[in-house]
Amino acid sequence: MSELLERRYRSVLRLLPEDYRRERESEMVAAFLEAAGDVSSADNPRPGWGEVGSVLALALRLRLGGQDSTPRAFARGEAVRLVALLGLGFQAALSVVTAAGGVAEPLFFLAAAEACCWVVAFLALVRGHLPTAKGAAVLALLPVTGTVAFHASDSAQPASQTASWLVLTVVPVIALLLAYHRDVLPVTRPWWQAVLPLTVAVFAASLALLPRDPTWSWSYPWTDPIGLGVLALVAGVAAGAIRRPAAPWRLALGMVAALLMAVRLLDMADMYGDLLVTGSVQVVLLAVLATGLTITGRRALPEPV
Amino acid sequence: MNVTEPMFLALTALVDGPLHGYGIVQEVERISGGRVQLKIGSLYGVLDRLAAQGLIALDREEVRQGRLRRYYRLTDEGATVLREEAARLAANAEAANSRLRARPAGGLAIRIAGTPHLGGAG
């Protein structure tokens, strides 16, 4: 038996939640070393990628639990699943408005393809068709990549805006792929819960298309996609203050606030004057919301079993 | 209940008696003819799911050469679920086999009116 291999495997097992590791670590190490057979530390042995991947997948399922897991892990999983749902809805509404709003010719087909993918992904997720939702969301990244490549070659589009948009696009897809794992049973929500928020969001997002008055330049950051996201978040928190949402909603809105803050910070690299002042106000507001929602959300989590 | 292939094989591995973690890995590999090689992380994911549904239970613990071994056994409920799942798979396999037996050698030739026969020499 190699002590080095054992040490390395134990460090991989640190990916698992502490309470699970306390219960299972000795047993897993014994099984792993039996499977590894006779190896010498002189050979510099390491756990294979397959073993590391299996522990990573287990850690993910334990931390972002499905319906059969502990109430605490389930609540954490629900929070990330809500981030995926809100993110897909946001992308669906914005992409519809972008495609309908008269995008220039080379980008029109990309914008239309992207809008179709996001809308299908969002509707499928709300209706509980997980493979369709995942497939459409991943597919949406293809036209996004094309649009990003186009903007990267366009010197008029600041790189920071492209980067912040990319983050805002990729994160919901990652949340979808990670949190809707095979231990999660699909939940079918009624059609109105898919169509109504999407319709409202499309109307709200179409504000971005209104002609801009140069004397109101300070307001521009409120009508770009990130600004609209901030307004939607504030509306969600205001509604939540009345209904006192459960831990998953608070944590999800806290994560959305942190994400919007990160992308606004990226975006501010190219802001100046009034725009910079408004951007800074948004960042402070988002920081307060992210902190408050995360703290109250963590306090509201069910106790560990 | 959705019984995945690794769950099915792990339940099958425990039919003959309790096994510890690595014993289940070996038995699953043997039953599947080497096709399914469970990684340790995957194995414990499978064991957690089976235990949560009451299909397996902890039988005993042993310490061998300073290492902990936990043995798991099939519960009565686990045996029932395995029997039902095996019957379902056998029915599917039988349906496939009976259709394959009825299939003419060389497959069905499709002939569309007004087109030459697609089957070659015929």
> Mean pLDDT, to the nearest integer, of A10-14?
95
At residue B74, what are phi and psi to the nearest 5 degrees?
-75, 135
- Architecture, CATH, for domain B5-101: Orthogonal Bundle (1.10)
**Residue in A with minimal Cα distance to B42:** A54
pLDDT of residue B42: 94
Using CB atoms within 10 Å of the CB of residue A222, give its burial: 0 to 12 exposed, 13 to 18 middle, 19+ buried.
middle
Of B20, B52, B69, the CB nearest to A68: B52
Which backbone phi and psi does A96 adopt, to 5 degrees? -65, -45
Q: How far apart are CA A71 and CA A65, in angstroms?
A: 8
What residue spans define the domains of chain A?
Answer: 1-28+49-54, 71-300
Q: What's the whole-number mean pLDDT along residues A105-111?
A: 74
Question: What value does the mean pLDDT take over residues A131-147?
Answer: 88
Question: Where does the pLDDT of residue B114 fall: very low under 50, low under 70, confident under 90, or very high at 90 and above?
Answer: low
Q: Which two tokens stand for residue A127?
A: 């209706």
| A28 closest CB neighbour out of B4, B40, B49 | B40
For residues B19 and B80, give the distance between their C-alpha atoms in angstroms, rounded to a whole number: 19
pLDDT in tens, B44-88: 999 999 998 999 999 999 988 888 899 999 999 999 999 999 999
CA-closest candidate to residue A144, choices A175, A177, A167: A167
CA gap B81, A167 in Å, rounded: 45
Which of B44, B34, B33, B35 has its CA nearest to residue B7?
B44
Nearest beta carbon to residue A31 from set B40, B49, B53: B40
pLDDT at A241: 67
pLDDT at A112 over 80: yes
- Type of residue at A33: L
Whether the pLDDT of residue A96 is over 90: the answer is: no
Residue A196 scores a pLDDT above 90: no
The span from the CA of B20 to the CA of A26, in Å, is 13
Q: Do B45 and A50 touch (CB under 8 A)?
A: no
- How far apart are alpha carbons A60 and A199 in whole angstroms? 34
CA of B56: how far to CAs of A79, A140, B8, B18, B47, in Å? 31, 42, 12, 10, 8
Q: Looking at chain A from residue 42 to 81, which residues have their Cβ under 8 Å from any Cβ of chain B?
A: 50-51, 53-58, 61, 68
Q: How far apart are the first and last CA of chain A?
A: 35
What pLDDT, in 10s, does the model give residues B82-112? 999 999 999 999 999 999 999 887 666 555 5
**Per-residue pLDDT tens digits for A223-256:** 788 888 898 888 888 887 667 778 999 999 999 9
Given this model, what pLDDT does residue A294 score? 94
**Residues near A171 by Cβ (< 8 Å), separated by ≥ 6?**
A83, A87, A259
- Its ipTM equals 0.80
Q: Which of B40, B60, B62, B72 to mutate to test the interface with A (most CBs of A within 10 A)?
A: B40
* Higher pLDDT pick, A158 / A263: A263
A37: left (phi over 0), alpha (psi -120 to 50) or beta: left
Are A62 and A75 within 8 A, CB to CB? no
Answer whether residue A174 shows pLDDT above 90: yes
* pLDDT at res. A208: 66
Cα distances (angstroms) measured from residue B38 to each of A96, A284, B4:
44, 49, 13
Residues contacting residue B106 through CB under 8 Å, at least 6 positions apart: B119
CA distances from A93 to A118, A188, B13 (A): 8, 21, 50
Closest CB to A51 among B39, B53, B70 = B39
Using CB atoms within 10 Å of the CB of residue A203, give its burial: 0 to 12 exposed, 13 to 18 middle, 19+ buried.
exposed
Average pLDDT over residues A271-295: 89
How many residues in total does chain B contain?
122
Res. A104: pLDDT tops 80? no
Distance CA A304, CA A73 (A): 9
The arithmetic mean of pLDDT across residues A154-177, rounded, is 82
Query: Does B119 have pLDDT greater than 60?
Result: no
- Sheet strands side by side (includes B19-20): B19-20, B67-74, B56-64
pTM: 0.79
Residue at token pair 């059609």? A191
Residue B120 pLDDT:
43
Integer distance in angstroms from the first to the last C-alpha of chain B?
50
Q: What residue spans define the domains of chain B?
A: 5-101
* pLDDT above 90 coverage of chain A, percent: 44
CA angle A69, A73, A78 (to 5 degrees): 100
CA distance to A181, A183, A214, A250, per residue, from A83 (Å): 15, 18, 35, 11
CB-defined contacts A:B, below 8 A: 57
Of A44-53, A105-114, A128-137, B31-40, the range with the lowest mean pLDDT is: A105-114
Pairwise CA distance, residues A113 & A146, whole Å: 11
**B74 in helix, strand or coil?**
strand
Helix, strand, coil: what percent of chain A each, to 5? 80, 0, 20
Q: In the predicted model, is pLDDT for residue A81 greater than 90? A: yes
